[in-house]
Copies of this chain bind each other. A is one copy, B any other.
Amino acid sequence: MSTRIGIMGYGNLGRGVECAIKQNDDMELAAVFTRRDPSTVSVLTDTAAVCHVDDVMAWKDKIDVMILCGGSATDLPEQTKLYAKDFNVIDSFDTHARIPEHFGNVDAVAKANSHVAIISVGWDPGMFSLNRLYGNAILPEGCDYTFWGKGVSQGHSDAIRRIDGVKNAKQYTIPIDAALEAVRSGSNPEFTTRQKHTRECFVVLEEGADAAKVEEEIKTMPNYFADYDTTVHFISEDELLANHSGIPHGGFVLRSGVTGWNKEHNHLIEYSLKLDSNPEFTSSVLIAYARAAHRLQKEGQSGCKTVFDIAPAYLSAKSGEELRATML
């Protein structure tokens, strides 16, 4: 029997989940839930219902896993614990500093209602976290490095768009090759923020805006840009739409460590992602963990979990026998 999926929130991530379901024969999209008027929302899957979020309780027994596709700032801290009462849930909560608190909130509700919740699923947190854990467990004496990009940072693009005189903008985070090569050489370098990444901005100005002033405001923006070497390109809106409307991303997780009685041998573990579509890749990870959540609940498990708590075999539609015969 298929795993019946509900999608809560139909933005880039929700649409990505819909696409990922299409690629997995054991998954089925039951319904999409939206805060908009459902009659104004059209989905790609003929067989799926589109419902207002207020009607979600009617789906309590018709959805095996609800995938929460809202944002981490305000949606997920409320939604995940709310829906864990009546559904198995998955989210991609990515505010790293608030994960312990979010975990505690969701765990209490999920346990009390015998549901499985898996939070912070995606690639960072998610696949990158897994690679940090595996790397540290295997090479306990070593150094961790995470680089992001080349890719679009939504938060940084938004920050530019809030500047007076900016009509539209896209920001790319770019890892610095020399830093990556230094890590790969085994020298265990320590980096300043500026030494790891550069930031490249493509900006469309409002009519009559002062380019020099906007550029200065971007480059000196605290937290977002001041600690980085930042390049600003002013382009037309047509060029922005033609060349910068994708949402690529990716990055690198490296663990550099030593083994041997006298620590005489060096080792490097490197994991990297090159993603044409950040939300679609994140969605693909969400669907794999939705499969795990459904299985775990059928086994009688409950509570909040993260990617650290899920045995890899639960992610695959294949049986243990098939996996051992084909992938081990």
Contact = CB atoms under 8 A, between A and B. Distances in A.
Interface of A: 16, 18-20, 22-24, 44, 96, 99-100, 103, 120, 125, 127, 129-134, 136-141, 184, 259-261, 264-277, 280-281, 283-285, 288, 291, 306-313, 315-317, 320-321, 323-325, 327-328
A211 B212 CA distance: 72
Contact of A284 (B20, B138, B270): B138
B276 A267 contact: yes
Given A22-B261, A23-B140, A265-B280, A328 B306 contact: yes
7 contacts: A100-B324, A127-B134, A131-B271, A139-B284, A267-B275, A270-B274, A310-B311
B276 A327 contact: no
Nearest to A126: B328
> Copies of this chain, how many?
2
A207 to B, nearest CB: 34
Given A285-B138, A309-B313, A311-B311, A20 B324 contact: no
Nearest to A323: B308
A252 to B, nearest CB: 9
A58 to B, nearest CB: 27
Contact of A315 (B137, B270, B285): B137
Contacts of A100: 321, 324-325
A281 B129 CA distance: 21
A297 B196 CA distance: 43
| A261, A306, A324 interface centre (most CB from chain B within 10 Å) | A324
B281 A316 contact: no
A133 B312 contact: yes
Contacts of A288: 137-138
Given A127-B134, A267-B281, A308-B323, 16 more contacts: A16-B259, A96-B328, A99-B324, A133-B327, A137-B288, A138-B315, A259-B277, A259-B283, A260-B277, A265-B277, A267-B276, A268-B274, A269-B271, A308-B312, A309-B320, A310-B311
